[in-house]
Structure 1
Amino acid sequence: MTILRLLATITLGAGISMAGLWSIESSLPSLRTHHAAAAAERMPLYYRDPSGAPAWSAGPRKDDRGRDYLPVYDDDQATPEPAKPKQQADSSRRILYYRNPMGLPDTSPSPKKDPMGMDYVPVYEGDDAEDGVVKLSPGKIQRTGVRSASVERRTLRIAVKAPGTIQLDERRVSVIAMRAESFVQKVADVTTGTRVKAGQPLMEIYSSAIAAAAAEYLSTINSNIVGSNVVYGRGSRQRLTNLDVPEPVITAMEKSRIAPVTVQWSAPRDGIVLERNAIEGMRANPGDVLFRIADISVVWALVDVAERDLGSIAVGQPVTIRARSFPDRTFAGSIAVIYPQVNKDTRTARVRIELTNPDLALLPDMYVDAEIGTADPAPLLAVPADAVLDTGSRQAVLIDKGDGRYEPRAVTLGRRDASYVEVRDGLSDGEAVVTSANFLIDAESNLKAALKSFADAGEAQSAGGDHAGMGEHK
């Protein structure tokens, strides 16, 4: 009707008859039909994201929020997005500021939009009442897989690992050397590496000094027979002992009353021949070592412990030894000596571990790996190792306060084993700490702190501007 009145005014002013007006009115439906047909023939060039994001489509589609993409025609004018009712703000709480909807560290004291056209999210009073506490919704907790564990006292299985080698027990090594000039008459079928028993014959020796001492001793005891009692010449017998004549040889002389031409030397202990220098017919000067025998039924493991671990070890602690030659076998021992010196080049201290070696599997200079048990028998307050956020200069855990609230807290750590870490300060028994997805919560906590600092800076700047305006007004 508005169009008809406009046309009537125009026609009357122009002198057009009412009959012409009615003819124009009758032609309006055909004009509307033509306009609709023209709009239908107008094909969109493409479709764009309704939020203004740099996303396009060749055909109709919807975004991740269910909104239709907007068509763009050849005149570069897109169909406007249908207006949506604004979200009603919570009037019961005061809005502190507005934060970036994408989580960027950008805040605003008043409502605004980001470059993509998204509204800033209001932050209400009370949302950050607990400073440093992060609050997550149940859905987010489930999606991120947050898990917590209780802080408990437990015995930590702490082990210090160190490499080392097998060495002979210095107290179980014997040498056979002459104390007077001698000649080797005969050598038994014994070579380096042969296992010998105590008393087993090794060689026969001729020595003029031993022969003279033996003759003198027999002359003494033969001239002092009174009945059935034999009075020994103690001086002559001591001379044989000083020449290191084996005791069985002296006893045999006393029984047979015959001075032997050669003296048989035997092994002083069970062990392995480490050195054989005796050769038939050779002359042995006083002090020459002819045999060297070691008992390896008990050996030492000399391991090098790092300087940082010296405070954790002590004499008597149990040690497990693994030889690289026997990867599936372990040898048990204990710390016997901690040598009182640190190697200035390697910053390690040597530790001696005594091991029983009944089957003689451990050989000298064999490489071994030692694991020293340093567990404290008293239970310690500990948390799972996964609960600790360690940046090198800062160690912290996230406390689960319930209802989706998490609080970061600095802690002081102590010793640790493969799964748990001792907490010396910062936690109490029975508290719950986050053990999974704690890095995500920590990131959100840092983001919240950044947003709060931006908001505080903005409020301070606004307050400063207000005070400046008041000063100018005065």
Structure 2
Amino acid sequence: MKASSFGYSLLAVALLAVGSASGYWLGQAKPVMSTEKTAQNPERPALYWFDPMYPTQHFDAPGKSPFMDMALVPKYSNSTQDSSSISVPAQTSQNLGMRTRPVVLERLAAGLDAVGSLAYNQREIATLQARAGGFVERVYARAPGDVLPAGSPLADVLIPEWSAAQLEFIAVLNSGDSRLIDASRERLRLLGMPAEVISHVAKTRKARAVQTIVTPIAGELQTLDVRAGMAVSAGQNLASINGLSSVWLDSSIPEAQASSVEIGATVSATLAAYPGQVLQGHVIALLPSTDAQTRTLTVRSQLPNPSGKLRPGMFASVHLSSPEQTPALLIPSEAVIRTGKRTLVMLAGSEGRYQPQEIHTGREVDGKTEVLSGLREGQQVVTSGQFLLDSEASLQGILGDSGAAQ
């Protein structure tokens, strides 16, 4: 029985200790921020009344909130303290880990780093078509993916219509009538006969009804749609080839940095396939569409490829040069509070006072945001704990200054 009583005594002591600890911590859970106002002080007139759930809506008289089933709260004037800011004790600021940084006047970092991939230059595409209806007599040993020099033969096409026209042209040449010769030569041209074929017939006085389809430019053979013995019609696509003398480099950048890119700017690229080699090119276009998922824009650059070692599909690390920037007011990007309707920062004042300040922002580079209006050089902005301060300011109906503090 005594042992039992001793056990109960230990349990009581433990519960008492837990209760004491809970009471201590609950006692410490006091509001960490205040606005230096005393509630219901009849000696100070109320500036207005508001609903704490809708602090932006002010009322001229006390009453019941039209939004919630609760009484409106008065906002008192304060002749000794600034009623547009909130006060945080120094110990509380230290416990919350609040940090501040000054507003500085500097130039944004020149240049922009991105990643990109190589692609075919779509301005170097040649499509080969049949000049007239005929039959494929021969196909040379080619296949899509072959890299061919200019003038490489692809297929021989017999065009019966050319044979009769060329024989008439030869007869006119033998007549010596210059007017008839010019008219007959023009007829051959309108039939789709290349100039070199017409010259060959005029020189040799022999008909040449077989046309050899050759590549007009050097590059990679993309398609080859001819087979031996097949019939072709005028205008039918036979093959296509993409030049490789230059390639495109498409890089993705955040839409907020679009103003940092100019057409004609220098581009430096490095590829994993060729470490240590820096390739130089220039920006040729900023594509008009934005990726809906990543909110990025595509910067298109052109790189020379005289040796053909740059292959579409390769990935590259890209540095885009930007024009010299004029000095601008800069703050850490982490200090910016975006509510959807406004952009704010928390200004740090003297004696532990903080005030919300509306700003207008510009470019953002390397963790720094340009401030177009709302701040001036040397002011201190909160970079850690600013969201707690903003919440307290909203509950107290402090909206912040929307004027430019330049």
TM-score (norm 2): 0.60
**1:434-473 equivalences in 2 (<5 Å):** 434-439=382-387
Q: Which has the larger radius of gyration?
A: 1
| Greater relative CO (CA pairs within 8 A, separation 6+) | 2
1:103 aligns to what? 30
Once the 2 structures are TM-superposed, how far is the Cα of residue 381 of structure 1 from its aligned partner? 2.1
Is 1:421 matched with 2:360? no
**1:20-419 equivalences in 2 (<5 Å):** 54-55=19-20, 103-104=30-31, 129-131=81-83, 132-134=85-87, 136-137=89-90, 144-156=96-108, 169=122, 171-224=123-176, 233-260=181-208, 262-298=210-246, 316=263, 334=283, 336=285, 353=300, 355-356=302-303, 358=305, 359-362=309-312, 377-393=325-341, 395-402=343-350, 404-415=351-362, 416-419=364-367
Per-residue deviation, residues 121-178 of structure 1 (Å, max 9, x unmatched): xxxxx996233252544x6665654433221234446989999995762x43333222
Per-residue deviation, residues 188-232 of structure 1 (Å, max 9, x unmatched): 11122222222112222222222223333334444449xxxx999
Which range is displaced more, 180-189 or 238-247? 238-247
Q: 1:321 to 1:164 in 2, by over 3 A?
A: farther
Structure 2 segments unaligned to the other structure (5+ residues): 1-8, 42-77, 398-406
Q: Is the 8 A contact 2:250 2:300 kept in 1?
A: yes
The SS at the match of 1:233 is helix
User: Structure 2: which amino acid aligns with 1:134?
Assistant: S
- Aligned equivalents of 1:198 and 1:268: distance in 2? 5
Q: Is the 8 A contact 1:388 1:396 kept in 2?
A: yes
Q: Is the 8 A contact 2:356 2:390 kept in 1?
A: no
Once the 2 structures are TM-superposed, how far is the Cα of residue 392 of structure 1 from its aligned partner? 4.5
**Residue correspondences, number:** 336
Q: Is the 8 A contact 1:401 1:407 kept in 2?
A: yes
The SS at the match of 2:348 is strand
- Aligned equivalents of 2:261 and 2:249: distance in 1? 16
- Aligned equivalents of 1:242 and 1:409: distance in 2? 78
Q: 1:428 to 1:231 in 2, by over 3 A?
A: same
User: Structure 2: which amino acid aligns with 1:272?
Assistant: E
Q: 1:187 to 1:394 in 2, by over 3 A?
A: closer
Q: Is the 8 A contact 2:115 2:315 kept in 1?
A: no
Q: Is the 8 A contact 1:159 1:375 kept in 2?
A: no
Per-residue deviation, residues 358-404 of structure 1 (Å, max 9, x unmatched): 245226xx9999999998934432211122344545543233335x4
Q: Is the 8 A contact 2:268 2:319 kept in 1?
A: yes
- Aligned equivalents of 1:434 and 1:160: distance in 2? 28
Per-residue deviation, residues 267-294 of structure 1 (Å, max 9, x unmatched): 1222222222222222222222222223
Q: Is the 8 A contact 1:166 1:368 kept in 2?
A: no
Structure 1 segments unaligned to the other structure (5+ residues): 1-44, 57-63, 65-99, 111-125, 451-474
Q: Is the 8 A contact 1:185 1:206 kept in 2?
A: yes
Q: Is the 8 A contact 1:319 1:335 kept in 2?
A: no
Which range is displaced more, 183-192 or 204-213? 204-213
User: Structure 1: which amino acid aligns with 2:87?
Assistant: V
Q: Is the 8 A contact 1:304 1:351 kept in 2?
A: yes
User: Structure 2: which amino acid aligns with 1:54?
Assistant: G
Q: 1:319 to 1:241 in 2, by over 3 A?
A: same
Q: Is the 8 A contact 2:120 2:244 kept in 1?
A: no
- Aligned equivalents of 1:385 and 1:423: distance in 2? 10
1:23 aligns to what? none
Q: 1:279 to 1:305 in 2, by over 3 A?
A: same
Percent identity of paired positions between Structure 1 and Structure 2: 21
Q: Is the 8 A contact 1:246 1:265 kept in 2?
A: no
The SS at the match of 1:55 is helix
> CA-atom RMSD, angstroms?
5.6
Once the 2 structures are TM-superposed, how far is the Cα of residue 186 of structure 1 from its aligned partner? 1.3
TM-score (norm 1): 0.53
User: Structure 2: which amino acid aligns with 1:208?
Assistant: P
Q: 1:391 to 1:294 in 2, by over 3 A?
A: closer
The SS at the match of 1:250 is helix
1:472 aligns to what? none
